């Protein structure tokens, strides 16, 4: 168990290191001089030079990279080229927003997917099951942003029930916060629900054929009782794996959904920063995303081991 | 069977609770009591609030006239009007301006506005601004403080553009004690202050109760930023914003016209310019450039690309400029003439690369332009250039392009574009440079005449093809009055807004 976690941590460190290098280099080969973008078409050559000097973009790449890494280790992402804002507090703000969005979306996805997936498995021989898995199949194929746009068209524009976008921090006004949360969470969560439903269904189908379920029933449990007492825990292992993977996918989906709903999260920051060649801000966002994804995998690994005693023994 | 039923019940419960969540939050949707504030939707967010060191019109769009004021103001017809200066006298040699300043003006930090602030602000442009816009202040030789309310500005030579520039962002008046945190905390003499700036979301303005002039009709204005025009109009229809300013999707406008919204087709100073690199073949040949001008049916382009909104112009001069002249008849749509010119230049069947920036207007016009050019035998291949980064780098800085299209937004930017051979278009300005220099120093009449002459020469040379004047489309709640729909400077003036009873 411990070794397993240590190995994961090692992989974690290497992944992050490699990711920082790739991100750093990719951004440097991208066309577009950040100084010109920051100062615009009216900038004088002197101003451009001064800007490059001030922001260090005229220095050797390896030096820029080392400086940046030095900052990262101490949790300092540097200062935005364009807004002159400290990036660390800014990123902290944005991460909160994105995590709330992703967390709620996953919660919604699970609330929908677990019962429906189970139902689809249990009723896999009749029409209800077919309808449910057909519906989830369609859900999987619809992109998040399309759901978002449709939701806005219907619930904000047509019915006027919800704002079409924007964000209010929960600490500021809980009602307004929830109001703005609903549509993006549904947009993100419903597609996830469809995906996870399919995994839940196949996981439950799998265990329905297992002996322990039959044994459970032989001992007098109802089918549902046996499923809940013995089955779901077993079905949980593959579902947890997929939840981990899908959380990563949700983070990426959030980048798009934040754009659709004008939500100031990591995604919006990423898109704006790329357009403005605000390289340090892009680097910061990407590193945070990488960290989150890798961290998720680490957590899934650990949870996985905790849920499935066989893995614990194996590793010991 | 009971098990199945239980699962069904769970599903139903989950669904019901989701709906309940939706329902209860929907119940608290905002009300429609007497409104005192206005929410404005814009696309294109400023990176910070300091337009003295950060380029682009996004910052002055929100701050000029609302938070900062100049000595003069450019009105909706493009004329110069008094603002902080109630009156001014110009000497006979037109190099000395004496401004009378309004009394009892204070900055939002409480500092009094005096002649010292005028001197400070003008000097600051020369010393601390990093944009080349600051060159507009080069003509100022010195500023003399006569008294608290009187200031004398001495120019090195007469200039007709200077006073106009004083009504734009370079003319903004700052307080010496208010320039420490321009990027986050602007201090001006305007009727509003910046209450909050939430990066990636909105800027909140609040009316000052100690404003020196007539108080605005609204107590607050929130400017919200959207990723694109669709999001902007959705918010308008959902009632999240009261006004969509500078809409970039004309095809969405007609729906609003049919509904209970007001649609304003305002003018702007932005010209959609089909630019050709005058330095390189085939566009170093004036006949090829003229051929392009004859080959394009600009009315068809305007109709197809921008829903007919906008104005046809024959040169890069909007009708609100004093030296505007209707030159739309100079290059009538004439594909045969275009073919003949191409043949004469030996450029039949020529192939060019067309760098199209990733902007809605550019995408909209490029396909039609390519079609029309193909009809006369110019084979243009579209190459997409991410805007701003790649376009600025490749086209604007490195001049590595043959043909491009861009929205030139600045007011009175004709000379910027054509009176500089090093500018990205690369027009040889030897014919117009002396004329423009003389015009700027001449009397107002000489200025207008000289500029007209320069414009005609550039048009004759077909240095670039202005496709149309970009409209400033505004869609707003029917109850909102006092909308300044013409974008004659970079400013979106909110000071006249109020709600009809």
In chain B, where are the structural domains located? 17-50+56-61+190-267+472-499, 68-178, 271-469
Q: pTM of this prediction?
A: 0.81
Q: Do A264 and B237 count as a contact with CB atoms less than 8 A apart?
A: no
Sheet holding B192-198, edge to edge: B192-198, B202-207, B220-226, B37-43, B243-244, B472-477, B261-266
Q: What is the dihedral of CA B164, B165, B169, B175, to 10 degrees?
A: -100
Q: Report d(CA B461, CA A160) in Å as an integer.
A: 54
Tokens read off for B500: 């009809």
Q: What is the dihedral of CA B387, B391, B397, B403, to 10 degrees?
A: -140
Who's near B311: CB < 8 A, 6+ residues apart?
Answer: B267, B318, B319, B468, B469, B471
**Which residue from B55, B200, B239 is facing A43, i.e. has the nearest CB?**
B55
Phi and psi, residue B487, nearest 5°: -95, 80
Tokens read off for A286: 């990407």
ipTM of the complex: 0.74
Give the three-class secondary structure for B266. Answer: strand
Q: How far is A24 from chain B (nearest CA, A)?
A: 17
- Find residue B266's DSSP bridge partners: B472
| Chain B residues with CB-CB distance to A178 below 8 A | 21, 25
Tell me the C-alpha to C-alpha distance, in Å, between residue A139 and each of A121, A172, B479.
17, 34, 42
Please name the residue that has the structure tokens 């609770």. Answer: B17
Share of chain B above pLDDT 90, in %: 75
Closest chain A CA to residue B199 = A264
**Which residue from A119, A152, A278 is facing B8, i.e. has the nearest CB?**
A119
Q: So what's the architecture of B17-50+56-61+190-267+472-499 in CATH?
A: 3-Layer(aba) Sandwich (3.40)
Closest chain B CA to residue A116 = B11
Q: What is residue A210's predicted lDDT score, i.e. its pLDDT?
A: 74
Q: Which of A119-123, A282-286, B379-383, B450-454 has the lowest mean pLDDT?
A: A119-123
**Helix (H) or strand (E) run with residue A264 in it:** none
Conformation bin of residue B104: beta by default, left when phi > 0, alpha when psi is -120 to 50: left
> From the CA atom positions of chain B, what is the Rg in Å?
26
- To test the contact with chain B by mutation, choose from A262, A266, A273 the residue with the greatest count of B C-beta atoms within 10 A, namely A262
The mean pLDDT of B236-240, rounded to a whole number, is 90
Q: Are B64 and B168 in contact (CB under 8 A)?
A: yes
Q: Which of A198-212, B61-75, B451-465 has the lowest mean pLDDT?
A: A198-212
Q: How far is B38 from chain A (nearest CA, A)?
A: 16
Q: Are B27 and B207 in contact (CB under 8 A)?
A: no
Q: Which of A205-219, A245-259, B202-216, B329-343 has the lowest mean pLDDT?
A: A205-219
Q: Report d(CA B14, CA A188) in Å as an integer.
A: 17
Strands B96-101 and B150-155, bridge-based pairing: antiparallel
Q: How far is A198 from chain B (nearest CA, A)?
A: 16
Q: How far is B440 from chain A (nearest CA, A)?
A: 21
B291 CB burial (10 A radius; 0-12, 13-18, 19+): buried
The mean pLDDT of A180-208, rounded to a whole number, is 88
pLDDT in tens, A210-247: 777 677 777 777 777 777 766 666 777 778 888 888 88
Q: Which residue has the higher pLDDT, B334 or A300?
A: B334
Read off the pLDDT band of A309 (50, 70, 90). low
Q: Report d(CA B467, CA B331) in Å as an integer.
A: 11
Please say whether the dihedral angle defined by the alpha carbons of residues B52, B57, B59 and B65, taken in this order, is positive or negative: positive
N-to-C CA span, chain B? 64
| Chain B residues with CB-CB distance to A185 below 8 A | none
Q: Report d(CA B414, CA B433) in Å as an integer.
A: 12
Residue A200 has pLDDT above 80, yes or no: yes
Q: Report d(CA B330, CA B406) in Å as an integer.
A: 21
Closest chain A CA to residue B391 = A32
Closest chain A CA to residue B21 = A182
| Chain B residues with CB-CB distance to A149 below 8 A | 230
**Which residue from A32, A47, A122 is facing B389, i.e. has the nearest CB?**
A32
Q: Which residue has the higher pLDDT, A273 or A104?
A: A104
HSE-up of B418 (CA within 13 Å, CB side)?
Answer: 31
Q: How far is B183 from chain A (nearest CA, A)?
A: 8
**Which residue from B2, B227, B389 is facing A31, i.e. has the nearest CB?**
B389
Q: How far is B324 from chain A (nearest CA, A)?
A: 24
Q: What is residue A107's predicted lDDT score, i.e. its pLDDT?
A: 94
Q: So what's the architecture of B68-178 in CATH?
A: Alpha-Beta Complex (3.90)
Read off the pLDDT band of B16 (50, 70, 90). very low
Q: Do B132 and A43 count as a contact with CB atoms less than 8 A apart?
A: yes
Q: What is residue B354's predicted lDDT score, i.e. its pLDDT?
A: 97
Q: Are B450 and B439 in contact (CB under 8 A)?
A: yes
Read off the pLDDT band of A31 (50, 70, 90). confident
The mean pLDDT of B273-298, rounded to a whole number, is 96
Closest chain B CA to residue A40 = B55
Q: What is residue A303's predicted lDDT score, i.e. its pLDDT?
A: 77
Domain B271-469 belongs to what topology?
Dipeptide-binding Protein; domain 3 (3.10.105)
Residue B181 has pLDDT above 80, yes or no: yes
Q: Are B197 and B203 in contact (CB under 8 A)?
A: yes
Q: Could you tell me how far CA A298 lies from the centroid of its own chain?
A: 14
Q: Do A152 and B133 count as a contact with CB atoms less than 8 A apart?
A: no
């Amino acid at each position: 168990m411990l070794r397993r976690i240590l190995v994961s941590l090692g992989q974690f460190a290497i992944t992050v290191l490699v990711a920082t290098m790739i991100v750093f280099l990719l951004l440097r080969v991208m066309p577009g001089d950040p100084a010109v973008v920051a100062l615009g078409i009216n900038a004088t050559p002197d101003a451009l030079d001064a800007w490059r000097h001030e922001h260090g973009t005229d220095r050797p790449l390896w030096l820029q990279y080392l400086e940046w890494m030095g900052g990262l280790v101490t949790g300092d992402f540097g200062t935005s080229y364009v807004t002159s804002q400290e990036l660390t507090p800014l990123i902290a703000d944005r991460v909160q927003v994105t995590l709330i969005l992703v967390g709620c979306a996953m919660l919604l996805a699970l609330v929908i997917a677990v019962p429906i997936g189970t139902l689809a498995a249990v009723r896999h021989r009749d029409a209800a099951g077919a309808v449910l898995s057909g519906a989830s199949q369609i859900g999987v194929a619809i992109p998040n942003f399309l759901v978002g746009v449709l939701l806005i068209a219907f619930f904000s524009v047509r019915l006027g029930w919800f704002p079409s976008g924007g964000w209010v921090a929960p600490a500021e006004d809980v009602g307004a916060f929830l109001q703005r949360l609903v549509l993006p969470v549904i947009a993100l969560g419903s597609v996830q629900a469809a995906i996870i439903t399919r995994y839940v269904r196949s996981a439950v189908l799998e265990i329905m054929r297992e002996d322990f379920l039959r044994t459970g029933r032989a001992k007098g449990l109802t089918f549902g009782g046996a499923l809940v007492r013995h089955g779901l825990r077993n079905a949980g292992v593959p579902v947890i794996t997929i939840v981990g993977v899908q959380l990563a996918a949700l983070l990426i989906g959030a980048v798009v959904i934040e754009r659709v709903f004008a939500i100031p999260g990591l995604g919006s920051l990423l898109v704006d920063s790329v357009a403005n060649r605000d390289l340090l801000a892009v680097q910061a966002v990407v590193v945070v995303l990488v960290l989150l994804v890798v961290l998720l995998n680490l957590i899934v690994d650990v949870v996985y081991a905790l849920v499935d005693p066989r893995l614990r023994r194996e590793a010991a | 069977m009971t098990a199945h039923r239980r699962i069904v019940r769970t599903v139903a419960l989950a669904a019901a609770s989701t709906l309940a969540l939706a329902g209860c939050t929907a119940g608290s949707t905002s009300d429609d009591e007497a409104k005192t504030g206005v929410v404005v939707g814009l696309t294109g967010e400023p990176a910070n609030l300091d337009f003295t060191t950060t380029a682009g019109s996004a910052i002055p769009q929100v701050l000029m006239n609302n938070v900062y004021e100049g000595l003069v103001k450019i009105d909706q017809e493009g004329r110069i009007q008094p603002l902080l200066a109630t009156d001014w006298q110009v000497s006979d040699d037109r190099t000395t301006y004496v401004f009378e300043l309004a009394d009892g003006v204070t900055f939002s930090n409480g500092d009094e506005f005096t002649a010292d602030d005028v001197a400070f602000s003008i000097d600051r442009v020369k010393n601390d601004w990093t944009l080349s816009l600051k060159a507009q202040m080069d003509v100022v030789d010195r500023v003399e403080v006569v008294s608290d309310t009187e200031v004398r500005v001495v120019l090195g030579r007469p200039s007709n553009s200077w006073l106009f520039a004083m009504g734009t962002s370079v003319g903004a008046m700052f307080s010496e004690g208010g320039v420490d945190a321009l990027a986050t905390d602007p201090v001006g003499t305007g009727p509003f202050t910046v209450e909050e700036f939430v990066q990636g979301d909105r800027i909140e303005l609040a009316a000052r109760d100690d404003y020196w002039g007539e108080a605005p009709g609204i107590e607050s204005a929130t400017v919200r930023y959207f990723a694109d025009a669709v999001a902007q109009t959705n918010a308008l229809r959902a009632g999240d914003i009261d006004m969509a300013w500078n809409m970039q999707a004309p095809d969405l406008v007609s729906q609003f016209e049919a509904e209970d919204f007001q649609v304003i087709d305002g003018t702007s100073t932005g010209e959609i310019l089909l630019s050709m690199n005058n330095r390189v073949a085939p566009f170093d040949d004036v006949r090829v450039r003229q051929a392009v001008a004859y080959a394009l049916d600009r009315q068809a382009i305007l109709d197809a690309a921008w829903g007919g909104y906008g104005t046809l112009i024959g040169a890069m001069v909007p009708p609100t400029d004093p030296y505007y002249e209707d030159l739309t008849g100079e290059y009538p749509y004439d594909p045969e003439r275009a073919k003949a010119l191409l043949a004469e230049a030996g450029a039949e069947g020529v192939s060019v690369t067309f760098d199209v920036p990733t902007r809605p207007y550019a995408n909209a016009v490029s396909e039609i332009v390519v079609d029309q050019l193909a009809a006369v035998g110019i084979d243009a291949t579209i190459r997409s250039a991410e805007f701003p980064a790649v376009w600025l780098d490749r086209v604007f800085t490195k001049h590595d392009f043959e043909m491009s299209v861009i929205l030139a937004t600045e007011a009175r930017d004709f000379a910027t574009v054509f009176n500089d051979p090093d500018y990205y278009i690369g027009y040889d300005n030897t014919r117009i440079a002396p004329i423009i220099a003389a015009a700027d120093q001449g009397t107002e009449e000489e200025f207008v005449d000289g500029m007209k002459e320069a414009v005609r020469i550039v048009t004759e040379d077909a240095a670039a093809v202005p496709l149309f004047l970009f409209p400033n489309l505004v869609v707003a709640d029917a109850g909102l009055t006092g909308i300044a729909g013409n974008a004659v400077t970079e400013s979106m003036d909110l000071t006249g807004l109020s709600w009809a009873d």
